[in-house]
């Protein structure tokens, strides 16, 4: 088991290097001038000076080496567009908010979705089941920007229960998390219900019930554990969904997370910020996948050796 973990962790390093390389290469293809931000042209002399200052004209391998060194010393370089701010600064102010949003959305999805799925499974083929599934399917399919728009209009504006935008007090954090979490919640509900139904049909469960073991024990131990497996499995790719969904939610709710910075930096050709954020995002996905794999290994020993 330990060996498995160590091996997996060890492999994240070359993975990260590959990601950095790919991102770096892609960035170089974009072109554009980070120093020109308005419709006014940049005077030649100024352009020249800025390019020098930010090493934009060094040969690519030098820039790459310089960058990799930066990543491993946690120095992601200065922003090319927002003078006076480092990518580290930007990360420090924006990232935590996005992560918070993602975590709350995930928690919401978990706390509402899993019980919902369980109830639906336990009340299989009743109106409870049907309505729960209808509800969750619809919310899975409706794009989050519509959900967000409706939530803001009815809950924040009309009812006045929550603020319409921003991310400062806890009241601000509820609507965006809910809006982002609806989709994953629906997914969890479906998955849990599905797996629970399956497991409940399994012979060993029926046997246990027939033998009269207390219902709660049966449900608690076997069924629950098995039902959580798909949740864990889905958690990995779900992270991707949450990251991407957060871009739109952050836009609508004016949350100063990385979504907005990311889009703005690509727009402005702020190469160092784009690189930094992409590498960081990838890092998170890699770590999340790592955690998922390890959890999966714990929950389902069969998979431990099944990879590669």
Partner 1 sequence: MRSKTFWLLVAMLVASLALVAAGCGGDDEGDDAAGTEATTGEEGGSEAAEQVITVNWGTEPPSLDPGLASDTTSANILLNIMDPLVILDEDLNPVPNAAETVETSEDGLTVTFTLRDDLKWTNGDPVTAQDFEYSWKRTVSPELGADYAYQFYGIVGAQDYNSCDAKKDDCAALADKMAVKAVDDKTLEVKLTTPQPWFVQQAAHHSFLAVHRQTVEKFGDKWTEAANIVTNGAFKLERWEHSSAIDIVKWDEWRDADRVKLTRVNGRMIEDGTTAVQAFEAGEVDVLKAGLPPDEIPRLKDTPEYEQYTGLGTYYYGVNVKNITDVKQRRAMALAIPRQSIIDNVAQADQLPASGFTPQGMPGFDAINPDSPFLPAEGDMEQAKQLMDEVASPKTEITLYINDAPGHREIAVAIQAAWKELGITSEIKQQEFQQYLEFLGPPPNKDVDVYRLGWIGDFVDAINFLELWTCESGNNSTNYCNKEYDAVIEEARKTEDNDARYELYAEAEEILFGEDGDMPVLPIYFYTYTGLERESVKDTFEVNLLDQVDLTKVVVTE
Partner 2 sequence: MTITDAREALTAEPGASPASGAPIRQSNLWRDAWRRYVRNKAAVVAGTVFVVVLLYCLIAPIASPHDPDAVNFALSSQTPSLEHPFGTDKFGRDLFTRTALGGRVSILIGFGATIAILFIGVVYGAISGFVGGRIDNGLMRFLDALYGLPYLPFAIITLAIIGRTNTWTMMIALSIASWFTTARIVRGQVLTLKENDYVRAAKAVGARWYRILGRHLLPNTLGVLIIAIFLELPGVILGEAFLSFIGLGISPPDPSWGAMAQEGRTVFRSHPTAIIVPSIAIATLVLCANFVADGLRDALDPRTRES
Binding site for partner 2 (CB under 8 A): 11, 14-16, 18-19, 22-23, 26-27, 29-32, 137-138, 140-143, 145-146, 149, 153, 187, 191, 194, 197-198, 201, 229-230, 233-234, 236-238, 240-241, 243-245, 247-248, 251, 262-263, 266, 274, 277-278, 281-283, 285-286, 289, 306-308
Q: Which does 247 bind (CB under 5 to 8 A by kind): partner 1, partner 2, none?
A: partner 2
216 binds partner 1 (CB under 8 A): yes
Q: Which does 249 bind (CB under 5 to 8 A by kind): partner 2, partner 1, none?
A: none
**The two structure tokens encoding residue 303:** 């998979």
**The two structure tokens encoding residue 202:** 């399994």
Q: Which is nearer to partner 1, 120 or 239 (CB)?
A: 120
Q: Which does 65 bind (CB under 5 to 8 A by kind): partner 2, partner 1, none?
A: none
- Using CB atoms within 10 Å of the CB of residue 286, give its burial: 0 to 12 exposed, 13 to 18 middle, 19+ buried: middle
Q: Which is nearer to partner 1, 21 or 153 (CB)?
A: 153
Going by C-alpha positions, the residue among 104, 145, 98 that lies closest to residue 281 is 98
Q: Residues 227 to 246: which contact partner 1 by CB under 8 A?
A: none
Q: Give the three-state DSSP class for 270.
A: coil
How many Å apart are CA 11 and CA 207, to the nearest integer?
43
- Give the binding range for partner 1 (CB under 8 A) out of 28-36, 135-143, 193-201, 285-293: 28-36
Q: Smallest distance from the beta carbon of 185 to partner 1, in angstroms?
A: 10
Please state, in angstroms and as integers, the Cα–Cα distance from residue 229 to each residue in 41, 52, 181, 232, following that order: 57, 53, 20, 5
Q: Which does 212 bind (CB under 5 to 8 A by kind): partner 1, partner 2, none?
A: none
16 binds partner 1 (CB under 8 A): no
Q: Smallest distance from the beta carbon of 190 to partner 1, in angstroms?
A: 16
Q: Which residues pair with 86 in a beta bridge?
A: 78
278 binds partner 1 (CB under 8 A): no
How many Å apart are CA 255 and CA 250, to the nearest integer?
5
DSSP code per residue over 42-79: PPHHHHHHHHHHTTTTS-HHHHHHHHHHHHHTT---B-
Q: Which does 20 bind (CB under 5 to 8 A by kind): partner 1, partner 2, none?
A: none
Q: Are 79 and 272 in contact (CB under 8 A)?
A: yes
Q: Smallest distance from the beta carbon of 53 to partner 2, in angstroms?
A: 23
Q: Which is nearer to partner 2, 220 or 240 (CB)?
A: 240
Q: How many residues does the chain have?
A: 308
**The two structure tokens encoding residue 183:** 């989709």
């Amino acid at each position: 088991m330990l060996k498995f973990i160590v091996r997996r962790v060890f492999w994240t390093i070359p993975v990260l290097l590959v990601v950095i390389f790919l991102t770096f290469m892609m960035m170089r293809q974009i072109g554009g001038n980070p120093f020109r931000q308005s419709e006014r042209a940049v005077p030649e002399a100024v352009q020249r000076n800025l390019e020098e200052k930010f090493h934009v004209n060094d040969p690519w391998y030098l820039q790459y080496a310089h960058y990799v060194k930066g990543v491993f010393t946690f120095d992601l370089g200065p922003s090319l567009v927002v003078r006076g701010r480092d990518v580290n600064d930007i990360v420090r102010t924006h990232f935590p908010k996005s992560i918070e949003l993602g975590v709350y959305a995930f928690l919401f999805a978990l706390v509402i979705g899993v019980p919902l799925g369980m109830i639906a499974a336990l009340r299989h083929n009743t109106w409870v089941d049907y309505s729960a599934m209808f509800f969750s399917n619809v919310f899975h399919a409706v794009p989050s920007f519509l959900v967000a728009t409706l939530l803001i209009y009815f809950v924040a504006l009309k009812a006045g229960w929550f603020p319409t935008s921003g991310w400062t007090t806890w009241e601000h954090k509820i609507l965006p998390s809910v809006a982002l979490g609806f989709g994953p919640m629906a997914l969890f509900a479906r998955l849990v219900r599905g797996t629970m139904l399956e497991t409940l049909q399994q012979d060993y469960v029926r046997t246990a019930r027939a033998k009269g073991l207390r219902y709660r024990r049966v449900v608690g131990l076997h069924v629950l554990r098995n039902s959580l497996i798909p949740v864990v499995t889905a958690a990995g790719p779900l992270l991707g969904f949450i990251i991407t969904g957060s871009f739109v939610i952050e836009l609508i709710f004016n949350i100063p997370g990385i979504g907005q910075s990311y889009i703005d930096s690509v727009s402005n050709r702020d190469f160092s910020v784009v690189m930094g954020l992409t590498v960081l995002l990838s890092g998170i996905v890699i770590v999340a996948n790592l955690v998922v794999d390890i959890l999966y290994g714990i929950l389902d020993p069969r998979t431990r050796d099944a990879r590669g």
